[in-house]
Structure 1
Amino acid sequence: MTTATFVAAVAAFAPLVQAMQPDAVPPLPAPMRPLQWGQINFLHTTDTHGWHAGHLQESQYSADWGDYVSFADHMRQRADEDGVDLLLVDTGDRVEGNGLYDASTPKGQYTYDIFRNQDIDIICSGNHELYQADTADREHHQTVPNFAGHYLASNLDYIDSKTGKQVPMSDNRYRTFQTKHQKLDIVAFGFLFNFTANAANSVVQPVQQTVQEPWFMHAITKEPADLFVVIGHVGARMGELRVIYNAIRAANPHTPIAIFAGHAHVRDAVHFDDRAVAIASGRYFETIGWMSVSGVDHTEHAETKRDAPIKFARRYIDNNLLGLYYHSGKNATTFPTDHGRNVTATIAAARSDLDLETPYGCAPQNYWLQRRPHDHPSSVFSLLRKHVLPEAIVRPDRADVPRIVLINTGAMRFDIFRGAFTRDTTFIVSPFISLVRYIPDVPYALARQVLPILNRFGPILSAMAEEAAATGVTDQTEAWANVMDWREMGVPEQYSFREEEADNGVGAGGSIKNDQNAAQKLLFGRKVDSDSGSDGDDAGRPPLVAGYTTWDDFGLDGDDAIHEPLPRFRLPNCIQAEVSFPKAKSEVAAEPETVDFVFFDFIQKFVLQALAYAEQNAGGVAPDGTTYKHYTDADVESYLENKFTDYFADWVKKNWGDMCGDKSV
């Protein structure tokens, strides 16, 4: 579509939209907790992954980026009226995960311009901006100029393709400024975790090195600072944030620190000390984070800073219009601004241009990513294991060869909802360029060991434990909590609750086990069934909308809407399907001598490491006395030409294509 045509399309959509996307389901009312305003206030987005049209099938997250633009305008007006300050921050991973970004050629054809409509004060990169060289190029040449002076790249460099020179991703390693009303001196940084799977045109400096750089030491010792603001695409409980905090705190014993985290796809808040707090604000534009800070003293006198008590408050805002109305004090008539409406119309026109509503079929039921165990009939992974992987991942000339098809669970990113499965759904469910590779004729005695190695033990976990220690993570629990991030096999953990195995502090002095029933008993004074989310005793309270019930370092009252809790189950790192295995007389699958070992290119190095471990564990000798082959990258071949999502879409068209017309579905 040409620019002129697209502008005309936007104009055509503008009269049709007041707020949120026309096809989005309307939100449902819920009991609300108000925002706690302070001296300086923050709105935080992270890991939006292209979901800037909102969640069209989920009522509680159905507002779009245009609605956020309107909301921020109203909140700024409130801050101006009250004489307090409001800042907006974003901590990366704006790409990959939704058709609005992934379906265009080039990717992100519309989303960069849509996103820039929000006036963001501090912004940084995530790891997904760096996986592909062309994405890193667009980050440097589009996002950085779009947020000139506000984009911070404390430990991220870019290699210019024309000159070959390594330069900072942005001119700003850090930013100093004064707030509008309180005239507070802010020193802000923007970090990325110690990411190693980035494209060759980007360089991520380990955080441990960055905090020793002269410019960083200058920033934390010479720049006037009433408040340090650290934004980062780093999990709130990952070791890198602790390194940054320790460096700042060592030089500034009393200056408050506000930290904004991401990457882990959770709602969370972490108490570093009485003057330092981190907040993580969810994923996929489901959540708008809120933090307020009070007691910040604009003075050069350390004695005053030491004595002034600092108060932090946080909320996790469900991204829907009813909640945004409530917090802004507006209604359906007064909430949409002209700017917000225009952004909403732009999103609607872009979705239309990309044919995102084109139906491929109709899902006969809900298939959940984590609301059911991975082997439950209603799990996405059961659907994959039993049907999609065996039936869609087939190389015609080797269809009868026994094969194992192994995938990392992180390759699947979202639930499948009963009803229309559209072009957009394919990108939502699995947005990555997952190419299908294989090693032919692998001894089954070796191949069958790979799944348990990847899921439970082996050299990968040992290597990750060593890396955890090298990066300053000394607590064993924290090392295990971070292992999936470092392993780079995707991020399957999407929990509302904290992940530690031991008892955790709640509020001041309380502690409860990391157990959903116990947490909900504190919240509602009753036990909640972990599967249905209900105990059958609803007397005395109205029905609640299902959603996040977050437990963080400050207790159970962080969510702005009081929700019925959702069940959430842990996922294995990988799953596999065994296909075309020979049948014994009992019709039970027999063990083949060799198999085609099929997997996604993203986990190739882990498959090879697991095979090497299995070979080593067997002493290099097969049961028949022959020597096992040591597999390397040279043994890996292409199994199918296209990416996984293409074959998934074809499977949907073939198997679910006519179900929308079936009234029994």
Structure 2
Amino acid sequence: MSFARVPLLLALLHAVTAEQPSAPSPIAAPLRELPWGQLNFLHTTDTHGWHGGHLQEAQYSADWGDYISFAHHLHKRADDDGSDLLVVDTGDRVEGNGLYDASNPKGKYDLDIVKQQSIDVLTVGNHELYQRNTSDREFNKVVPDFKNSYIASNLDIYNPKNGERTPMAQRFRKFTTKNQGIRVIAFGFIFNFQGNANNTVVQPVEEAIKEQWFKDAIDDKEVDLFLVAGHVPVRDSPEFDAVYKAIRDSNWDTPIVFFGGHTHIRDYRKFEKKAWALESGRYMETLGFLSISGLGTGKKDEVEAAASPDYKRLYIDNNLYSLYHHSGKNASTFDTELGKNVTKAIHEARKKLKLDHAYGCAPHDYWLSRTPYPSDDSILTWLENQVIPDTFNFTKIPSIILTNSGAIRFDIFKGPFTIDSTFLVSPFTSGLRTIKDVPYSAASKVLQLLNNEGQILLPDLAAVSQTDRVDLDQLRAPFAPVNEDTFFHAHTSHAHDLALEHHQTFLGRKKDGDKDKDDTPQVPGYTTKDDAGTDGDDTIHQPIKFYQVPNCISSNVSFPAPEYAAAYGPVNFRPVHISTPEKVDIIYNEFIENWILLALEYLGEKREKKDTSAVLEGKSMTDVISDWIKKSPDWACPKEKDV
């Protein structure tokens, strides 16, 4: 595979680029070439509102308008050489960025921005289903915006207008590609999610594929490719495995391509030589590219071509340097009129939402997993030692405060912590609750159970996870320790085991002190290993080391001070014992309530939901973090004259 060798720094003026004005210029790096083929795909998943791009990370700084321009140029290439390009998105477009979350109603601007991209196959994600009003908006606005491409193979909704249960969208789509005439049957699934609001119904995939409409679709002999899109992890996925088996039982030789999501990783899985699956990361960091060559089109002289289709993939870093290279354009030829208009709309929306308003300024970077826990640079250590104790210092009752590490979604960078930052770091709305008067002997062991430490296990937690199918994103931070005997669903556990083993990830920022070298990659980022090897990342990255973090953390507040006695002379004191209270209150993030209750039951202190109550008037961890930053003198922004 050829590489494009380039200087290590690229001078790009924002005046002639379409990315957001405050976005950092991309850093040039060695690039792999786009494996263009007969049928090509662009894939996004788990964008979570990051459609304005990453404004603090040069490697992922292109926005949705740039993506529109990029897709336009690849469509033009397909038209010019007679190939085809299809665009796919597999859900979780909402929640996680101020562009979506800060508006009232949520998505007021973002949904109109997303619809400007021409997408051929679109599916739902679990984040579109948590809240009734979110799924209602999805049905009333997003489905009509993508009427011909939105597919909901196993999702129903109770129509907001008449209360009748109806499919969220069409169950499948059959279409023929523009230039090659490739006949495609496309499906759109969500994993067997049970955490949705009661206005939607997720049918288990294993049941949906038994219905007659699906049997008829996969029995169609006038098809050249089955396209299975879904908010489903591509690896070790019982849902995709079931779909694959069903198709093969009915249509044993037709090529299949899967597009997945949910686990926020780059991954590429081989089912067999005529069936591959692509997952394209998270947060608009990655534009997934996949090509298939050697497909038949139903014509007699082309039937034999399908005997050996050739699948190839590339994970594109979403910055203008990569997009220019893969589209064959430059700063003066890349932008399209629609792309520029969408970029402008994003900028105007950000201004209206005041997303750049700073609550304070971080004195240094705080990392989720790029630094050991505990350490001074760890977000979790910062929460545990400063934010949580300071927030709950009003209580006079000894309390143990618990939160899941998954309540934190992203790193904090040195510099302004803005309204936008609050949603990037912790977008969840779960309030804080308390269970009062718990014997300390039991309460002190809850954290150990939640983190599955030592010899204490909760065997029943596995059953809870199979019932609730919780969102892994919220339960724990990326790359947290995994144990399938506890409360993590098996397929997502395996995916994150893979992440730990195969996927070096996070930031496209140079480390302080890094020197430019012509012979080695200097841009930190993804170095992905998948079923096709180690050449999938379009940018030749410098690997990043990351560390495991616990599932949950805790802080003790208002505990009795230790008692001291003199030793080795009058000025030397040592603790004779640490005073522990007889009973404590447990305060926790509501998202982990079921596990708190189960842990207490296991420890012989059964409590029920009716025994819990709200704290801090139902404030969320997001509120706690932003309130603390506003008040902290250590996080005060320097005055302009001092900058």
**TM-score, length of structure 1 as denominator length:** 0.85
Distance 1:515 1:162 in 2: 47
Relative to 1, partners in 2 of residues 1:515 and 1:342: Cα closer, same or farther, differing over 3 Å?
closer
Aligned to 1:562: 540
1:94-109, aligned counterparts within 5 Å?
94-109=93-108
Alignment partners' CA distance in 2, 1:423 and 1:533: 26
Distance 1:223 1:355 in 2: 54
Residue 330 in structure 1 maps to residue 336 in structure 2: no
The equivalent of 1:498 in structure 2 is 498
- 1:248 to 1:483, Cα distance in 2 relative to 1, 3 A: farther
Query: How far is the alpha carbon of 1:16 from its aligned partner?
Result: 6.7
The one-letter code matched in structure 2 to 1:609 is L
CA distance in 2, matches of 1:304, 1:451: 60
Give deviations 1:111-139, integer Å, cap 9, x for gaps: 00000000000000000000011101111
1:37 aligns with 2:14: no
Deviation sequence 1:389-434 (CA, Å, 0-9, x none): 111245x4xx121111111111110000001111111111000102
Q: Quote the residue 1:269 is aligned against.
A: 268
Aligned match of 1:207: 205
Cα offset, 1:160, TM superposition: 1.9
2:332 matched to 1:343? no
Could you tell me how far apart the structure 2 residues matched to 1:492 and 1:95 are? 23
Mapped pair 1:406 → 2:382: no
Decide whether the 8 Å contact of 1:460 with 1:606 is kept in 2.
no
Tell me if structure 2 keeps the 8 A contact 1:193–1:207: yes
Matched residue SS, 1:114: helix
Show the counterpart of 1:640.
Answer: 616
TM-fit CA distance, 1:373: 2.4
| Partners of 2:521 and 2:540 within 8 A in 1 | no
Task: Determine the C-alpha separation between the residues in 1 that align with 2:327 and 2:95.
Answer: 30
Q: Are 1:125 and 2:124 an aligned pair?
A: yes
Q: Give the AA of the match of 1:462.
A: A
Kept in 2: contact 1:153–1:191 (CA 8 A): yes
Equivalence for 2:416: 420
Question: Which residue of structure 2 aligns with residue 544 of structure 1?
Answer: 522
SS at match of 1:547: coil
1:216 pairs with 214, 217, 224, which one?
Answer: 214
- Does 2:587 correspond to 1:605? no
Greater mean deviation of Cα atoms: 204-213 or 535-544: 535-544
Residue 227 (structure 1) aligned with residue 225 (structure 2): yes
The question of whether the paired residues in 2 share the 8 Å contact of 1:437 and 1:638 is answered with yes
CA distance in 2, matches of 1:418, 1:534: 12
Measured after TM superposition, the shift of residue 243 of structure 1 is 1.1
Amino acid at match of 1:434: S
Matches of 2:310 and 2:528, distance apart in 1: 20
User: Which residue is equivalent to 2:585?
Assistant: 596
Deviations 1:69-92 (A, max 9, x none): 110101100111110000000000
Say if 1:534 and 1:333 are closer, same or farther in 2 by CA, change over 3 A.
closer
- Shift of residue 540 of structure 1? 6.8
For these two proteins, the number of residue pairs brought into alignment is: 596
2:405–2:553 CA contact under 8 A, matched in 1: yes
TM-score (structure 2 length as normaliser): 0.87
Residue-by-residue CA offset, 1:241-277 (whole Å, 9 max, x unaligned): 1111111111111111110010000000001101000
Deviation for aligned residue 1:162? 3.7
Amino acid at match of 1:44: H
Q: CA deviation at 1:305?
A: 5.7
1:191/1:466 Cα in 2 relative to 1: closer, same or farther (>3 Å)? closer
Answer yes or no: is the 8 Å Cα contact 1:186–1:226 preserved in 2. Answer: yes
Return the letter of the residue paired with 2:616: L
Q: Which residue of 1 aligns with 2:437?
A: 441
Give the corresponding residue for 2:172: 174
Q: Secondary structure at the match of 1:236?
A: coil
Q: CA deviation at 1:466?
A: 6.2
Alpha-carbon distance in 2 for matches of 1:433, 1:487: 26
SS at match of 1:605: helix
Q: Report if the CA contact (8 A) 2:484-2:493 is conserved.
A: no
Give deviations 1:430-476, integer Å, cap 9, x for gaps. Answer: 0010201011111111112221212213045431686699xxxxxxx
Specify the code of the residue in structure 2 equivalent to 1:351: R
Q: Equivalent residue for 1:139? A: 138
What is the deviation of 1:579? 1.4
Cα pair distance change 1:638/1:241, threshold 3 Å: same
CA distance in 2 between counterparts of 1:83 and 1:600 reads 54
Q: Secondary structure at the match of 2:536?
A: coil
Counterparts of 1:537 and 1:109, CA distance in 2? 44
Equivalent residue letter for 2:409: R
Task: Note if contact 2:502-2:529 (Cα within 8 Å) is conserved in structure 1.
Answer: no
Amino acid at match of 2:428: F
After TM superposition, give the deviation of residue 310 of structure 1 in Å.
Answer: 1.2
Structure 1 counterpart SS, 2:498: coil
Is the contact made by 2:392 and 2:557 (CA closer than 8 Å) also made in structure 1? no
Distance in 2 between residues matched to 1:263 and 1:400, nearest whole Å: 42
Question: For 1:462-541, what aligned pairs fall within 5 Å after superposition?
Answer: 462-463=462-463, 486=489, 498-499=498-499, 514=501, 541=519
Query: SS in structure 2 opposite 1:445?
Result: helix
Change (3 A) 1:380 1:534: closer
Flag the 1:59–1:535 CA change in 2: closer, same or farther, 3 A.
closer
Provide the C-alpha distance between the structure 1 equivalents of 2:49 and 2:485, rounded to a whole number of angstroms. Answer: 25
**Judging changes above 3 Å, is the alpha-carbon distance between structure 1 residues 381 and 460 closer, same or farther for their aligned structure 2 residues?**
farther
Partner of 1:580: 558
User: Which segments of 5 or more consecutive residues in structure 1 lack a partner in the other structure?
Assistant: 1-14, 470-478, 501-513, 521-531, 616-627
Residue in 1 aligned with 2:531? 553
- 1:193 is matched with which residue: 166, 191, 194? 191
Aligned partners of 1:41 and 1:290 also within 8 Å: yes
**Residues 326 and 442 (structure 1 numbering): CA distance in 2 closer, same or farther, change over 3 Å?**
same
Q: Deviations over 1:191-249 (max 9, x none)?
A: 00000000000100001101111111011003621000000000111221111111111
Rounded Cα–Cα distance in structure 2 between residues aligned with 1:103 and 1:485: 30
**8 Å contact 1:437–1:599 — kept in the other structure?**
yes
Counterpart residue number, 1:62:
61
Provide the residue aligned with 2:362 in structure 1.
Answer: 363
Q: How does 1:251-290 map to 2 (within 5 A)?
A: 251-290=250-289
